[in-house]
Structure 1
């Protein structure tokens, strides 16, 4: 596996791939890789001849009181894991390389509407940072395919919208969430949890499953199910950021006319913010 950090070297390597007629798949990450990231890489290999991964802890998507400085950086272990999977190219730029003029002078990309609620409300500027860095990485890597985890459901929809709106010739693939045995979605932030907290946080997934069962029974309104879910999680010791049941495409509040719904949950276990989701197909459509 080749590891490079310069834009010039990246473009040169990508140019060679393209000249050889090879299809390129891309997996952008912030490092501290876990099994969920590795599943993205495995899916990427099923879609292309060459797989490119980036590791960049993007300062633009962190708020003032968030954990940018403390975000775990495990480059050596990440390199070993990616090399073992056969990744062709790892791009590891610095903030100075990606934002040479600094964040305040950086051109940005903003995706309206779909990025404004939920995590967009809780983390102002977050999706601007995500859209900007993904757009820049797409311009550099020129992938045919890019893989993202479904755990970050709103992020996935923001990226899909950006790609559609800006007419990018890139296929966006959502890869199912990888979970611990107790149902907790794998996340780099799980490293902040104690073993007891990890076990307790597994209730998020099980409560979403119960809410799904309630929705499919058709005897309880969407709003009632949403409130019951919130009450159950709070009783279980989680501090809620938001809970919503939304249309999967627009992320607007769910109605009976939607083809599918998504339960979106953001909650704190101790000081650690966890997000998860569950997609439900509307059986009546």
Structure 2
């Protein structure tokens, strides 16, 4: 597995691979890798000649400086995990100046309103930070396919919109959420949970399963009420938001229309650890 620590060596490598006609699959990460990330590379390995990973903790997408400071970092462990997986051919470990040549500042994007829903209401500027680093990575790696987990469904939709509007020649692929045995969505942030908190957090996925059942028989306002009541009874947990939204526009709905697809989105604080999850509603 090759490791590139600067833009110049990466782009020289990419150029050689492109000259040989290699099809490239790519999944960028912020490290603290787990089985959910490996599921991205497993899918990429099946669909491409070459699989590239990147690890970069992007400062501009954190609204909370404490969250950035506490974000788990262990690059050597991550590299070992990628090596052992056998899915990844090369890893890019860019420096800040490789992705922000003009200084550590986000670009400003118009994602046709997707950025104003859900996470956008609670994390202003977050998606500008995501867009800035993902755009630069896609331009440098030049992948044919890029892979993102559906756990960050809004991010996935925004990146698809980014590539569409900028006419970047890459296909964006969503990969289903990889869950722990308890049902908790795998996340780098889970490492910050105590064993007791981790076990208690399975209520998040259990709630989404209930929502999918209620979806067929009761109104959206009643579902919202029941979800709120569930988390009022959970010690050490705070429901930041729960929404049922149109999968295409991400706009919250208060009524189900038969010709549209819907997804339930939830964000819960377990003490100071922010966990997100979502589920397509049948």
Common topology (TM > 0.5) = yes
| Aligned position for 2:223 | 225
Count residues in correspondence. 278
Offset from partner CA, 1:115-172 (integer Å, 9 cap, x none): 1121111111111100111111000011100010000111111111112222222111
Query: Partners in 2 of 1:89 and 1:113 — Cα distance?
Result: 35
Deviation for aligned residue 1:259: 2.5
Query: Partners in 2 of 1:34 and 1:153 — Cα distance?
Result: 18
Q: For structure 1, which segment, 198-207 or 90-99, has the greater mean C-alpha deviation from structure 2 after superposition?
A: 90-99
Deviation for aligned residue 1:180: 1.2
Offset from partner CA, 1:162-192 (integer Å, 9 cap, x none): 1222222211111111111111111000111
| Aligned position for 2:281 | 280
Q: For structure 1, which segment, 48-57 or 86-95, has the greater mean C-alpha deviation from structure 2 after superposition?
A: 86-95
Superposition map of 1:54-203 within 5 A:
54-86=54-86, 87-104=88-105, 107-203=107-203
| Aligned position for 1:253 | 252
Query: Partners in 1 of 2:11 and 2:161 — Cα distance?
Result: 26
RMSD in angstroms over aligned alpha carbons? Answer: 1.4
| Aligned position for 1:210 | 210
Contact 1:109–1:135 (8 Å) recurs in 2: no
- Unaligned 5+ residue runs, structure 1? none
Offset from partner CA, 1:23-52 (integer Å, 9 cap, x none): 000010001101100111101101100001
Deviation for aligned residue 1:64: 4.1
Query: Partners in 2 of 1:48 and 1:158 — Cα distance?
Result: 23
- Unaligned 5+ residue runs, structure 2? none
Deviation for aligned residue 1:112: 4.0
Q: Secondary structure at the match of 1:63?
A: coil
Deviation for aligned residue 1:230: 2.0
Offset from partner CA, 1:87-138 (integer Å, 9 cap, x none): 111000121332233224x544442410112111111111110011111100
Q: Secondary structure at the match of 2:67?
A: coil
Query: Partners in 2 of 1:78 and 1:259 — Cα distance?
Result: 40
Query: Partners in 1 of 2:220 and 2:28 — Cα distance?
Result: 35
Q: TM-score, normalised by structure 1?
A: 0.93
Contact 2:96–2:104 (8 Å) recurs in 1: no
Query: Partners in 2 of 1:236 and 1:126 — Cα distance?
Result: 28
Q: Secondary structure at the match of 2:47?
A: coil
Contact 1:239–1:267 (8 Å) recurs in 2: yes
Query: Partners in 1 of 2:136 and 2:94 — Cα distance?
Result: 12
Query: Partners in 2 of 1:93 and 1:166 — Cα distance?
Result: 22
Superposition map of 1:14-29 within 5 A:
14-29=14-29
Query: Partners in 2 of 1:201 and 1:265 — Cα distance?
Result: 12
1:234 to 229, 232, 238: 232
